[in-house]
Chain A
Amino acid sequence: MDIRVRHASHAYGGLAVLSDIDLVAPAGKILCLVGPSGCGKSTLLRLMGGLERPTSGAIELVGAPPSGCLNELTFVFQHFALLPWASVEGNVRFVLDHHRLSEAERAEIVADVLARTGLADFAEAWPRQLSGGMRQRVAIARALAVRPAVLLMDEPLSALDSQTREILMEDLVGLWTRAPFTAVYVTHNLAEAVRLGHAVAVMSRRPGRIREIVAIDTPLSERRPDDPELERVQARLWSLLRDEAIDADRELVDG
């Protein structure tokens, strides 16, 4: 299922945040979204996920969701958003409980996603007992449990240290390779974008618009951290972003 943004603009009060965004996240691919801080990436993701309505323009879903899909547009949040009073398993079950599923089906889904994210041994643990990386794994497991049509990931790895981030990137690549999913992936980190994105959309500073979409053809599973081709793409992304980022940095918020 594709998700399509058509001429969407958004403003908070008088503050124009997004301007005339036209974008398609194609089915079965990961679209990365990069841009200077405050350019409206998170806002765009919330629009795509139906948590907010665009001031003008439209967001559309194209095609049928995958079979067994329980929640078409599913978020993975930067700060995990785990229920601290529920165990790992409880957190996954929380998003299944209101669906008409038999207990057996539920148990099967939970076991499956915990196994896929390497959490099978931690089902009973409290979130506070887990490291950051493990917590984000729980959030990813929870997102996978509802068999999403599109995963909307807002800087899912930016709260983690760089080693953990590396490991989770490999995990995500593994997950996608075994069962390709559609995702929109917001990040500040260009290395992440070139490792995970089939395409990288570069946004201008606020009010955000799409400056360029860079496609990366190397299959995900073959990308390596020191791949010269990827380094070239990353350098190009940086050159696109650099001036915008410097200007964005000097801007007074609420000026």
Chain B
Amino acid sequence: MVDLSPARQPREADARPVPFRGGGFAPGRNRWAGLVVFVALIAFFEVGTRTGVISSLTMPPPSAVAQTLWRLVETGLLWQNLGPSLYRLAMGSLVGCGAGILVGFAIGLFTLARAGLVPLVSALFPIPKIALLPLFVIWFGIGEGSKVALIAFGTFTPTVVATFGAVDGVDRGLIRMAQSFGVPWLRIVTRVVLPDALAGILSGLRVSLAIGIVLLVAAEMLGARYGIGAYILEAGALYDLERLFAGVVILSVLGLLVSAGIGALERRLLRWRG
């Protein structure tokens, strides 16, 4: 028998290590890098605006924005503006995403719904929802109706598309399996199609809700006295950069929170993926 253990092999003069070629393409996690970029950017703008290198016309000092934010909290103005916005966002996306998931399922499950609704959704998707704002005012009035409707409409189409894509992607083998065990239709939908489509639906919701936040500002262009969007618009009209940036920071934080919320939901509901 040949002895293949390396220790017994004579070391050749021209032996060289096998070059490693397998690295990269696998971005890892690093909490610090994000923070460092963030802090560096803020420090840069702070120094820049304080020294006048960055004109006060273009950028407020971050510390002034922080002060403005703090005043918002102190005076209760934050809640006065955040409350209505959260209500509009919640109602709008509840209606929009809810209807979107239902329609997405219908399209994914029924031939007739697919044939009838896919062209409609494709036609609705690219419409800039902001352009419809005046129409929404006629339909739903100048109060909360039009604002909720705008957000609902804006979140509806991406949710539909994500949902029916996810339903289409459901493992047909699992459906056949369920059928072969005589599992009733509705139960197949709730216990096979829904869980399998859930990952796709949740990542669709991530996009839809971000769009909802974007539309918040547009929705509050019309007749909103309070709201983060209205606050930003007012700050823009007054050319009050501190308030403008404070409002934008609030929206960003809102976006981060929504994204984190969905992340938590994913971790809970998609635990089985490990």
**Touch between chains A and B, by CB atoms below 8 Å:** yes
Contact B187 A77 (CB under 8 A): no
> Which residue in chain B gives the minimum CB-CB distance to A75?
B180
Interchain CB contact under 8 A, A126 and B272: yes
Interface residues on A, range: 20 to 34
> Binary interface profile of A, 67-97, with partner B (CB < 8 Å = 1, else 0)?
0001101110101010111100000001101
Residues in A neighbouring B59, C-beta threshold 8 A: none
Given A79-B173, A81-B173, A85-B195, CB of A49 within 8 Å of CB of B180: yes
A128 with B274: CB separation less than 8 A: yes
Which residues 162-181 of B sit at the A interface, judged by CB distance below 8 A? 173-174, 176-181
Cβ-defined partner of B272 (8 Å) among A71, A85, A98:
A85
B182 with A98: CB separation less than 8 A: yes
A97 touches B176 (CB 8 A): no
A-chain residues with CB within 8 Å of residue B192 when the two chains form the complex: 83
Chain B residues within an 8 Å CB radius of A179: none
Q: Is A146 an interface residue (CB 8 A)?
A: yes
Q: Do A94 and B176 touch (CB < 8 A)?
A: no
Q: Tell me the nearest residue of chain B to A97, going by C-beta.
A: B187
Is A51 in contact with chain B by the CB < 8 A criterion?
yes
Contacts of A81 in B (CB 8 A): 173-174, 176-177
In whole Å, how far is B240's beta carbon from the nearest beta carbon of chain A? 51
Q: How far is the CB of B16 from chain A (nearest CB, A)?
A: 36
**B52 touches A (CB below 8 Å):** no
In the complex, per-residue mask of A38-58: 1 if CB is within 8 Å of any chain B CB, else 0: 000000000001110000000
- Number of B residues near A (Cβ < 8 Å) is 20
Q: Is the CB of B274 within 8 A of A126?
A: yes
Is B272 a contact partner of A128 (Cβ separation < 8 A)?
yes
Q: How far is the CA of A167 from the CA of B176 in the complex (A)?
A: 28
- By a CB distance below 8 angstroms, the chain A residues around B184 are 98
Give the residue name and chain of the A residue nearest to B198 (CB): A85
Q: Which residue of B lies closest to A46 (CB)?
A: B176
Q: Which residue of chain B is the closest to A70 with respect to CB atoms?
A: B182
Report B-chain residues with C-beta under 8 Å of the C-beta of A73: 180
Once the chains are docked, how many angstroms separate the CA of A97 from the CA of B181? 11
Supposing A51-B176, A77-B173 touch, asked if A84 and B181 sit within 8 A by C-beta, the answer is no
Q: Which residue of B lies closest to A126 (CB)?
A: B272
Q: Give chain B residues whose Cβ lies under 8 Å from the Cβ of A51.
A: 176, 179-180
How many whole Å from A212's CB to the nearest CB in chain B? 29
Measured CB to CB, the residues of A under 8 A from B are 49-51, 70-71, 73-75, 77, 79, 81, 83-86, 94-95, 97-98, 126, 128-129, 142, 146
Which residues of chain B have a CB within 8 Å of any CB of chain A? 173-174, 176-184, 187, 191-192, 195-196, 270, 272-274
15 intermolecular pairs with C-beta atoms under 8 Å apart = A75-B177, A75-B180, A81-B177, A83-B174, A83-B191, A83-B192, A85-B195, A94-B178, A94-B191, A97-B187, A98-B183, A126-B274, A128-B272, A128-B273, A129-B274
Leading 4 A-B pairs by shortest Cβ distance: A81-B177, A95-B181, A85-B272, A75-B180
